[in-house]
A and B are shown apart, each in its own frame.
Chain A
């Protein structure tokens, strides 16, 4: 039973265009959401997060949108750059002291020069 779903395994975009990475979740107890980026042979690195009390969080070229009623979030990267090519994981955390993360399967983003 996958609680965090990234249904598209891959995405290819042209440099300079917008990349939109989607994520859906099923557990209504999740209230904090994160995006991690992973290069081959490296551990994931934190990218951006959003609390359930917000519907948007922006950091430079990266913006995360949260639609709680639809249990859906998305990561927008604009403009996309070749260095953004990596695997992106959506993760969620519930309330309470234990902040273990539940991850999606990831989506491979390729940005074409």
Chain B
């Protein structure tokens, strides 16, 4: 079956512009996560959705970042007024549930470059 898909695969934008990144999780997966990987760094947690519960936004670096998940499936990560330090690979992952032992399946990521 299809894995986690993300679009676009690459995004180049100018400083100050808004961007939207999309994630299509694996069908039936109730948990969805956003991470980002800056150059030379590990993956940094951003936000987590589980079913209809309120999302855990504790990893969002600033109020310029927001995310939503519509209908319990597709998720969109929005970055407003982008800054150069937002340049990174943004990765989405999904899992069957929020249990600790449930494997998270990652998409290929969106490489964001802010000029």
Number of interface residues of A (CB under 8 A): 27
Q: Would B42 and A97 count as touching, CB distance under 8 A?
A: no
Interface assignment of B40: CB less than 8 Å from any CB of chain A: yes
Interface size of B as a range: 20 to 34
Q: Would B101 and A4 count as touching, CB distance under 8 A?
A: no
Partner of B41 from A31, A97, A105 at Cβ < 8 Å: A105
Interface set of A (CB-CB < 8 Å, partner B):
4, 6, 31-32, 36, 41-46, 49, 51, 89, 91, 93, 95, 97-106
Instruction: Known A-B contacts: A46-B103, A99-B95, A99-B102. Give 14 more (CB < 8 A).
Output: A31-B100, A36-B106, A41-B108, A43-B91, A43-B93, A43-B108, A49-B103, A51-B101, A99-B100, A100-B48, A100-B56, A101-B33, A105-B41, A105-B42
